[in-house]
Structure 1
Amino acid sequence: MFDAMQHFVQVVETGSFSLAAKRLNKNASSVARQIDKLEQELGTELFSRTTRRLDLTLHGQSFYQQSLDILNSVDETRQSFKALTPNIEGQVSISSLDSYGDKKIIPLLPLFQKKYPNSKIVVSLDNTMIDLHESPFDLTVRYGRPADSNFIVKPLIRSRGILVASPSYLKQHPAITQPEDLKQHNCLALFKNKQHTYWQFQKADQIKKLRIEAILSACGGSAVIKWAKQDLGITLNARWFVEQELATGELVEVLPDWQASISGHEEALVYLMWKATNARRPVVRAMIDFLAENLAEVT
């Protein structure tokens, strides 16, 4: 019954047999058979099944809580008999903003794998907002604190905007002394599906919001920065994303007296997010601690 409990908890937490099967690395039909067998053994239905969703019955809700208690107890017992440094093994999956993931997370992961050679890491760099309740990912990195209070969050970095262009582009085009001057320039922007792009600028009590008509747009920051380095125009991005280009002089700040922002806020926080149930797995807990230790600039 212990294995069946594990299958049952995964189905409840993912909301489907197919997603539970992915986490368990099994076929969905095998997971469904385990649940059927469990219901037969208990003599009651645990799920109220419809064509679109799975809902727990009253007995299912009770059994879920008892299963969590038992599994947690077994896990705690197992951990108590391990060495002080546990054997970190298994797969951990991370979904991140493409720009932050590319610049900050990807370079670190070989260090984690070297530290924990029995670990396996899956990474997705995608700006699409994911639901940790539905997706197979253990961790996600996104802008802004989630509305769902069931998620645990760790702030990583304050993301202040900066307007940049290559020195060559600026030499070949009219001077920029006010935000309104950008209307005479080629702008490179992050793509927003079915939404207009606005850049906001603030200096003291002055606030100016400009609608940008970009000549080139991309869903992630990497492409936009490459275009800027190719002298194609001006772009607004996170300061942490262009630190290297600013240091080498490939890009320079435009309108340094104005605080630039895409979100309308002076600065936005990037968060690491996870569910408490995911963090019970040692490899996920190790990755959370590793990323927090190496990336967190916000206390």
Structure 2
Amino acid sequence: MSTNQMVALLGEMAVFVKVVETGSFSETARQLGATPSAISRSVARLEKALGTRLLQRTTRKLRLSESGHEVHRRCVDMVSAAQAVMAVSGQFDPEPQGLIRVSVPKAVGRFVVHPHIPDFLARYPKIDVQLQLKDSYVDLIDDQVDLAIRITDRPSPGLMGRKLIDIDHMLCATPEYLERHGTPTHPHDLKVHNCIFLGEEPGDSRWKFQLDGKKVNVNVRGRYAVNHTGARLDAVLQHLGIGSLPYFTARHALQQGHIVQVLPEWKFKTHYYCGEAWVLYPPTRYLPPKLSAFISFMAERLGQEPTLYKKSPQEPELSAPPYESPEASF
């Protein structure tokens, strides 16, 4: 392919990126001030020049083909590089702007991220935020998400990102409950207590503990199980029993003395809301200013709360091979 041909295709590549972003020819046309047929022809010209089908068109949605997924990743780098050039030249507004779609687990979004959003919006008046609170797995491309905050000790190998905080899980109860029913001194003491647990799977009532290399598993019981951390906190505050809670949910009640930690010397092991919180995004050489601003802001804010979380040091960016979705769709 000649240089002239490549230059002629730069515009088509930018249009292709916008189509993937919006998931629609008509919405892309609306945003770019063109017609849907013109957008469709632009993508068709790019496909013809590259000799490969980039999009699989159905009556309901557009999907990236296998080759389209890789082409899209490279085209995103091109668009980001163009924005960087404009910023250097002074022709592009250096102030971060645009919409950011962020997917966050429900409780983390409500108790950890959401409280800082007003200050973020005040600092960056040209950025809009769409916070999507969901516990189900989110595909960054398929679900049209810019950033995903996930609790994991092993981030997806095909993504880039930054560790924000460590998240602990703990057992809590009110002083009133413990005064009436006694304070456990060993995990096995929980067998005679009313325990408030997740209740989604049979294993949720099997609590696991570790101390100095010693592991103890206890089958607990209770009259109330609920799969929402805020509801479990409220149940604990109502003196219903000993509940399992993420530290970020329990922290304010702990600080105010409304509840206390149970078996604090034992590490409570669970797969639910426990581990490292990472903010992740598709691999790119040029991170858009709006995303960089959001990541830096959250890392700064959460890093200023050492008494509420385990403070995470400045983490290098996680660099990995391109992420490939199980279904290359958007």
The Cα of 1:80 is off from its aligned counterpart by 0.7
Say whether 1:292 aligns with 2:284. Answer: no
The Cα of 1:66 is off from its aligned counterpart by 6.8
Q: 1:111 to 1:83 in 2, by over 3 A?
A: farther
Whether contact under 8 Å (2:171, 2:268) holds in the other structure is yes
Say whether 1:180 aligns with 2:185. Answer: no
Q: Partner amino acid for 1:160?
A: D
Q: How does 1:107-118 map to 2 (within 5 A)?
A: 107-118=115-126
The Cα of 1:112 is off from its aligned counterpart by 1.0
Aligned residues: percent identity? 23
Whether contact under 8 Å (1:229, 1:251) holds in the other structure is yes
Say whether 1:39 aligns with 2:44. Answer: yes
2:216 is matched with 208
Q: 1:291 to 1:175 in 2, by over 3 A?
A: closer
Q: Deviations over 1:194-253 (max 9, x none)?
A: 754432112224311123445333333111111111111111223343222111111011
1:225 is matched with 233
Q: How does 1:70-219 map to 2 (within 5 A)?
A: 70-82=78-90, 86-192=94-200, 196-219=204-227
Give the superposed CA RMSD. 3.7
In structure 2, list runs of 5 or more residues that go unmatched. 1-8, 304-310, 314-330
How many angstroms apart in 1 are the aligned matches of 2:182 and 2:70?
69
Q: Which moved more, 1:269-278 or 1:127-136?
A: 269-278
Q: Which moved more, 1:202-211 or 1:69-78?
A: 69-78
Q: Partner amino acid for 1:7?
A: V
Whether contact under 8 Å (1:95, 1:124) holds in the other structure is yes
Going by fraction, where is strand more abundant, 1 or 2? 1
The Cα of 1:40 is off from its aligned counterpart by 4.2
Q: How many residues align?
A: 292
Q: Deviations over 1:141-199 (max 9, x none)?
A: 22114553221122222223321101112222244232122222222123435754432
TM-score by length of 1: 0.80
The Cα of 1:99 is off from its aligned counterpart by 2.2
TM-score by length of 2: 0.74
Q: Partner amino acid for 1:283?
A: K
Q: Deviations over 1:240-280 (max 9, x none)?
A: 43222111111011123322222399x72122222234973
Q: Partner amino acid for 2:293?
A: A
Q: 1:90 to 1:287 in 2, by over 3 A?
A: same
Q: Partner amino acid for 2:109?
A: G
2:23 is matched with 17
SS at structure 2 position matched to 1:106? helix
Whether contact under 8 Å (1:192, 1:219) holds in the other structure is yes
Q: 1:132 to 1:212 in 2, by over 3 A?
A: farther
Q: Deviations over 1:110-169 (max 9, x none)?
A: 111111112111112222222223222211222114553221122222223321101112
Q: Of 65, 77, 86, which residue of structure 2 is paired with 1:55?
A: 65
SS at structure 2 position matched to 1:95? strand
Whether contact under 8 Å (1:17, 1:32) holds in the other structure is no
Q: Of 256, 260, 278, which residue of structure 2 is paired with 1:271?
A: 278
Q: Partner amino acid for 1:273?
A: L
How many angstroms apart in 2 are the aligned matches of 1:226 and 1:134?
36
The Cα of 1:7 is off from its aligned counterpart by 3.3
How many angstroms apart in 1 are the aligned matches of 2:182 and 2:47?
77
Q: Of 269, 280, 301, which residue of structure 2 is paired with 1:261?
A: 269
Whether contact under 8 Å (2:77, 2:284) holds in the other structure is no
